[in-house]
């Protein structure tokens, strides 16, 4: 039976980059017999404009039925004045929560062809291959109570709650451990156990789970140190596992080690491996509509989808090889451009990947 992919372009450059990733999926379907059908739905600001909500009922229903989802990005200045409850970001957060996509895998891999695009010295980043495992449906992003209240004095007070249950920590650390078993068998759990009770408990649970994986070397690091170590000596890390907000911040940081946030894909998985796949970057309103955004993070997200949700490792490798070949040819979108390479736009980059894919 064919697998159903829900395509959710969203806002800003989301439209442009997803169009290129869809070309890749279509090529796999038409040339290599990938048995899929694709639907498209609205999410984010465009959904708010069309349906009055960033995650319309119709989109949520299609998402629940899909085998996997491909998302572009959400948000933009146009929707910033809206109440936080209907901002585009709520669409994305709602989808993650409603579908139980608790495990967010964010690989940071340096393509050797891009060593010059990193702001760090090549010897610091060459060979870099980190997997950040970010908890995605809990923590301060979703904790209650939250809000802004007016005190008796008339002053406003804003508050959010960092909250984790043992079971939530347990399951995300297990995901990290399982991934580490297929890699270099090292997990660094990142917390702020010296200050925050919630993450002190996180560390305790991580230690308990670690006992079930005697082959994995488990270490712990405070988040401030982890941020520093990521730019100082990033190759010390294999798998990092952390809370929703720390993971949000550290994965942006890790992305720049690889030259551009435009290169990094992600997978958000539920308990059964159903997933949503998206680039880790945002909607980049500053360059939206100009045809210059890098589609590779989204195309590489398709590779993750093939691997984690569609059980098509061979096809995933095909896509990754095609991306590599395109980089070998010297094609670069502006974000990864360096002297001696050829600057191209979003469409030309996508077309080049598809051409490389066709060649096999």
Query: Where does this chain bind ligand IPM (CB under 6 A)?
Result: 74-75, 89, 92-93, 248, 280, 282
Interacting partner of 44 out of Mg ion, ligand IPM, none (Cβ under 5 to 8 A depending on kind): none
Active site residue 224: yes
The residue among 248 and 278 lying less far from Mg ion, judged by its C-beta, is: 248
CA separation for the pair 350, 291 (Å, rounded)? 11
Interacting partner of 21 out of Mg ion, ligand IPM, none (Cβ under 5 to 8 A depending on kind): none
114: tokens are: 């891009």
Active site residue 277: no
Q: Quick one: CA torsion of 18, 23, 24, 27, rounded to 10 degrees?
A: 160
CB of 252 to Mg ion, least distance (A): 6
User: Which range of residues in 151-159, 183-191, 244-252, 287-295 is near Mg ion by CB under 5 A?
Assistant: 244-252
Catalytic residue, chosen from 31, 37, 212, 224, is 224
How far from 211 is each of 190, 206, 216, 348, CA to CA, in Å? 17, 9, 9, 49
Secondary structure element (H or E) that encloses residue 86, with its range:
none
Residues written for the chain? 360
CB of 77 to Mg ion, least distance (A): 17
Number of C-beta neighbours around residue 282 at 10 A: 19
CA separation for the pair 239, 254 (Å, rounded)? 12
Residue 54 CA, distance from chain mean position: 19
Q: Which residue, judged by CB position, is nearest to ligand IPM in the bound state? A: 89
Q: Answer yes or no whether residue 248 interacts with Mg ion by CB under 5 A.
A: yes
170: tokens are: 């347990």
Catalytic residue, chosen from 67, 164, 191, 192, is 192
User: Which range of residues in 42-50, 160-168, 240-248, 311-319 is near Mg ion by CB under 5 A?
Assistant: 240-248
Active site residue 248: yes
Q: Answer yes or no whether residue 278 interacts with Mg ion by CB under 5 A.
A: no
CA separation for the pair 11, 88 (Å, rounded)? 8
The residue among 10 and 210 lying less far from ligand IPM, judged by its C-beta, is: 10
CB of 75 to ligand IPM, least distance (A): 6
CB of 359 to ligand IPM, least distance (A): 33
The residue among 238 and 248 lying less far from Mg ion, judged by its C-beta, is: 248
CA separation for the pair 18, 43 (Å, rounded)? 13
Q: Residue 343 pairs with which residues in a beta bridge?
A: 332
The residue among 92 and 226 lying less far from ligand IPM, judged by its C-beta, is: 92
CA separation for the pair 214, 205 (Å, rounded)? 15
Q: Which residue, judged by CB position, is nearest to Mg ion in the bound state? A: 248
The residue among 226 and 331 lying less far from ligand IPM, judged by its C-beta, is: 226
The residue among 74 and 296 lying less far from ligand IPM, judged by its C-beta, is: 74
CA separation for the pair 43, 49 (Å, rounded)? 10
Cβ–Cβ < 8 Å for 214, 183: no
CB of 111 to ligand IPM, least distance (A): 21
SS3 sequence of 207-255: HHHHHCCCCCEEEEEEHHHHHHHHHHCHHHCCEEEECHHHHHHHHHHHH
Q: Answer yes or no whether residue 320 interacts with Mg ion by CB under 5 A.
A: no
CB of 102 to ligand IPM, least distance (A): 13
Residues lying near Mg ion in the complex (CB under 5 A): 248
**Catalytic residue set:** 141, 192, 224, 248, 252
């Amino acid at each position: 039976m064919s697998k159903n992919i829900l395509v959710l372009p969203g806002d800003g450059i989301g439209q442009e980059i997803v169009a290129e990733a869809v070309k890749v999926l279509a090529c796999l379907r038409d040339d290599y017999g990938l048995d899929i059908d694709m639907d498209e739905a609205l999410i984010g600001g465009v959904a708010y404009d069309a349906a009055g909500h960033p995650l319309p009922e119709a989109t949520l229903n299609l998402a629940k039925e899909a085998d996997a989802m491909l998302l572009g990005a959400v948000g933009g200045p146009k929707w910033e004045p809206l109440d936080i409850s209907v901002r585009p970001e709520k669409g994305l957060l709602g989808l993650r929560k409603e579908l139980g996509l608790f495990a967010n895998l964010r690989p940071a891999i340096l393509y050797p062809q891009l060593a010059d695009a990193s702001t760090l010295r090549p010897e610091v980043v060459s060979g870099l291959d980190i997997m950040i495992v970010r908890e995605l449906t809990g923590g301060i992003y979703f904790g209650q109570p939250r809000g802004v209240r007016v005190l008796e004095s008339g002053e406003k007070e804003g508050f959010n709650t960092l909250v984790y249950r043992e079971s939530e920590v347990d399951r995300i650390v297990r995901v990290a451990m399982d991934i580490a078993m297929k890699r270099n068998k090292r997990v660094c759990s990142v917390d702020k156990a010296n200050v925050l009770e919630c993450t002190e408990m996180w560390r305790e649970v991580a230690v308990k789970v670690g006992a079930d994986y005697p082959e994995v070397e488990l270490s712990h690091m405070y988040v401030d140190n982890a941020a520093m170590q990521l730019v100082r000596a990033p190759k010390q890390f294999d798998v990092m596992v952390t809370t929703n907000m720390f993971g949000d911040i550290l994965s942006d940081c890790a992305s720049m080690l690889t030259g551009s946030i435009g290169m990094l894909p992600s997978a958000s998985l539920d308990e059964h491996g159903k997933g949503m796949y998206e680039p880790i970057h945002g909607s980049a309103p500053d360059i939206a509509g100009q045809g210059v955004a890098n589609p590779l993070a989204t195309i590489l997200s398709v590779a993750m989808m093939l691997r984690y949700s569609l059980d098509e490792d061979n096809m995933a490798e095909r896509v990754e090889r095609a991306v590599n070949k395109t980089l070998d040819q010297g094609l670069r979108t502006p974000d990864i451009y360096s002297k001696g390479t050829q600057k191209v736009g979003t469409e030309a980059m996508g077309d080049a990947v598809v051409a490389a894919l066709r060649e096999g």
